[in-house]
Amino acid sequence: MSSIRIEEVKGAEEERKRISAHSHIKGLGIVNGKVERIADGFVGQVEAREAAAMVVKIIKAGKFSGKGVLIVGPPGTGKTALAIGIARELGADTPFVHLNASEIYSVEIKKTEFLMRALRKAIGLRIREWRRVYEGVVKSIEFKYGKHPYNPYIQVPVGATIRLKTTDEDKVLRVPQEIAAQLIELGIGTGDVIMIDEETGRVIVEGQAQGEGEEQYDISVKRRLEVPKGPIHKEKEITRFFTLHDLDMYQARQQGLVSAMLFGVFTEEREIPSEVRNAVDSFVKETVDKGNGELIPGVLFVDDAHMLDIETWAFFAKAMEMEMNPIMIFATNRGITKIRGTDIETPHGIPLDLLDRLIIIRTRPYTEDEVKEIISIRAREEGVKLSGDALDYLTKIGLENSLRYAIQLLTPAQIRAKEQNRDSVTKDDVEYVKGLFLSLKESVQYIKQHEELFLK
């Protein structure tokens, strides 16, 4: 089998930051066995985090079979962050699949097929094997771009030059398009410790080297590592990680439904036959039994759970009893409401027989000090410098409107400050962008004020 061509070049650098709404969440904020008020990106919600920490202990003890978790609370009180924190505490490579309940009704495949795929994406298999790899700290990356083969107006990466360093070696490597695309997709920058599989070209981000990179954060998603030792090109025992859905798709193409493979019509929309999943389950059990692999149950998080219908709840109830199933966490901000597809009203729109099987965790509204601290954390995470009066004003907005709305104003306020040749965001900048973008409350007031002008 031919390997991916990686060339050494003789000798060299920009840092990229990828930010998401919960990129600062590292765990549940447990320090010396106790939940701290401010830790791991969390602020407050100590009671909810203590309950979540207990759930983690139950899961690790192997006594969570047949159960699920329900997180209830007002909007913007950290329900999603709590689910992510549970996944982080279970392990760095624990699969986390985030669904919004409305997604189930907007797909082209059968509902049960979509749900089964979601379940199997949240279950991982870790396989250990020896591979030839390139490993080191990224010192610099330079991408080479060319025209898209089907659209000459779009630039796509066609290769890259990357400089890797260990304690013993320093090399510059020229890598092809498939590796360059992964480097961009993974957001790899200087200071990251990466490994490239010589045969497959797969790029693995191991973490960030201590003392490397342009800036070090108190809150960081990437784990800190020592600079790798030894040669850059070497043979190493590595861990390959697959979800059961990855294996399902591979097996489907292998058996593929040979006619589908020949005519090129196998797509993600095609339903995966049960015999394919049975074959994958047999392979997983055999791999685990031989000691060559380890099953990693992940977290399937379903937000806005009140939008699930009675059929979907029946599916999840059955899934909780399956031999291989992930940890199911649901979240909702609704009180008494109808179960979708029925005229029955229940707490949170969940059937009572299933609700009785869920461990329920509640979140509470944040205090003024907690809102201020959360805004400060998000500002640091997004690289926004706030003046004291701007932070106080955003805190007031978060209390009177919503925390989400206050955080959404950070970036436009920063842009406005830069246009005014200022490095720091002031109260004036926040007031300006607040006038441009309405909060939920202001939008409702506007509709009521001009109701006669809107179409019915």
SS3 350: coil
Instruction: Select from 319, 336, 362 the last residue of a domain.
Output: 362
Whether residue 26 lies inside any domain: the answer is no
Strands 203-209 and 192-197 come out as: antiparallel
CA-based nearest residue to 316, from 66, 74, 144: 66
Average the pLDDT over 114-125 and give the result. Answer: 90
Do 372 and 398 lie in a common domain? yes
Do 134 and 156 lie in a common domain? yes
Do 131 and 235 lie in a common domain? yes
What is the rounded CA–CA span in Å between residue 39 and residue 45? 11
Residue 395 pLDDT > 90, yes or no?
yes
The reported pLDDT for the residue numbered 287 is 85
Q: How would residue 280 be classed by pLDDT, with cut points 50, 70 and 90?
A: confident
From 7-21, 146-160, 164-178, the region with the lowest mean pLDDT: 7-21
Q: Is the pTM of this model over 0.85?
A: no
Q: How would residue 235 be classed by pLDDT, with cut points 50, 70 and 90?
A: confident
Residue 391 pLDDT > 90, yes or no?
yes
The reported pLDDT for the residue numbered 330 is 94
From 85-99, 120-134, 213-227, 292-306, the region with the lowest mean pLDDT: 213-227
Please give the residue that has the higher pLDDT: either 225 or 300: 300
Sign of the Cα pseudo-torsion (72, 76, 79, 82, in order): negative
CATH of the domain at 209: 2.40.50.360
- In sequence order, what are the beta bridge partners of 31? 34
Residue 221 pLDDT > 80, yes or no?
no
Q: Which residues contact 358 (CB under 8 A, 6 or more apart)?
A: 67, 68, 69, 70, 330, 350
Average the pLDDT over 312-321 and give the result. Answer: 90
Do 231 and 137 lie in a common domain? yes
What is the rounded CA–CA span in Å between residue 107 and residue 119? 16
Do 195 and 154 lie in a common domain? yes
Give the DSSP H or E segment for 428.
helix 427-436
- 439-456 per-position pLDDT tens digit: 888 888 888 888 888 776
Whether residue 156 lies inside any domain: the answer is yes
Average the pLDDT over 256-277 and give the result. Answer: 59
The reported pLDDT for the residue numbered 325 is 85
Strands 424-425 and 68-72 come out as: unpaired
Do 227 and 251 lie in a common domain? no
The reported pLDDT for the residue numbered 21 is 57
Q: How would residue 218 be classed by pLDDT, with cut points 50, 70 and 90?
A: low
The reported pLDDT for the residue numbered 259 is 41
Whether residue 235 lies inside any domain: the answer is yes
Q: How would residue 427 be classed by pLDDT, with cut points 50, 70 and 90?
A: very high
- Answer whether 266's CB lies under 8 Å from 252's CB: yes
Query: Into how many domains does the chain fold?
Result: 4
- Domain holding 323, by residue range, is 45-122+298-362
Instruction: Select from 313, 347, 362 the last residue of a domain.
Output: 362
Average the pLDDT over 146-157 and give the result. Answer: 78
Average the pLDDT over 113-135 and give the result. Answer: 87
Residue corresponding to tokens 């009066």:
389
SS3 25: coil
Q: Which residues contact 186 (CB under 8 A, 6 or more apart)?
A: 203, 205
Instruction: Select from 346, 362, 378 the last residue of a domain.
Output: 362
Q: Would you state the structure tokens that stand for residue 419, as one six-digit string?
A: 């246009």
Q: How would residue 6 be classed by pLDDT, with cut points 50, 70 and 90?
A: low
Whether residue 113 lies inside any domain: the answer is yes
Buried/exposed 44-73: b ≥16 CB within 10 Å, e otherwise: bbbebbebbbebbeebeeeebeeebbbbbb
Please give the residue that has the higher pLDDT: either 222 or 323: 323
What letter would DSSP give residue 452? G
Whether residue 29 lies inside any domain: the answer is no
CA-based nearest residue to 305, from 354, 235, 267, 234: 354
Do 58 and 73 lie in a common domain? yes
Sign of the Cα pseudo-torsion (34, 40, 43, 48, in order): negative
CATH of the domain at 382: 1.10.8.60
Q: How would residue 204 be classed by pLDDT, with cut points 50, 70 and 90?
A: confident
Whether residue 396 lies inside any domain: the answer is yes
Do 408 and 436 lie in a common domain? yes
Whether residue 453 lies inside any domain: the answer is no
Average the pLDDT over 312-320 and give the result. Answer: 90
Nearest 5°: phi and psi at 212? -105, 160
SS3 131: strand
Do 220 and 137 lie in a common domain? yes
Average the pLDDT over 368-393 and give the result. Answer: 89
Average the pLDDT over 53-59 and give the result. Answer: 89
Q: How would residue 262 be classed by pLDDT, with cut points 50, 70 and 90?
A: very low
Average the pLDDT over 296-319 and give the result. Answer: 90
- 79-115 per-position pLDDT tens digit: 888 888 888 888 877 888 898 888 888 777 788 889 9
Average the pLDDT over 357-363 and give the result. Answer: 91
Instruction: Calculate the average pLDDT of the chain.
Output: 83
Do 219 and 266 lie in a common domain? no
From 22-36, 302-316, 375-389, 427-441, the region with the lowest mean pLDDT: 22-36
Do 348 and 381 lie in a common domain? no
What is the rounded CA–CA span in Å between residue 288 and residue 123? 14
Q: Which residues contact 176 (CB under 8 A, 6 or more apart)?
A: 4, 5, 6, 159, 201
Q: Is 85 buried (19+), middle (13-18) or exposed (0-12) by CB count in 10 A?
A: buried
Residue 17 pLDDT > 80, yes or no?
no
Q: How would residue 5 be classed by pLDDT, with cut points 50, 70 and 90?
A: low
What is the rounded CA–CA span in Å between residue 127 and residue 242? 8
CATH of the domain at 90: 3.40.50.300
Average the pLDDT over 4-12 and give the result. Answer: 56
Do 118 and 133 lie in a common domain? no
Whether residue 438 lies inside any domain: the answer is yes
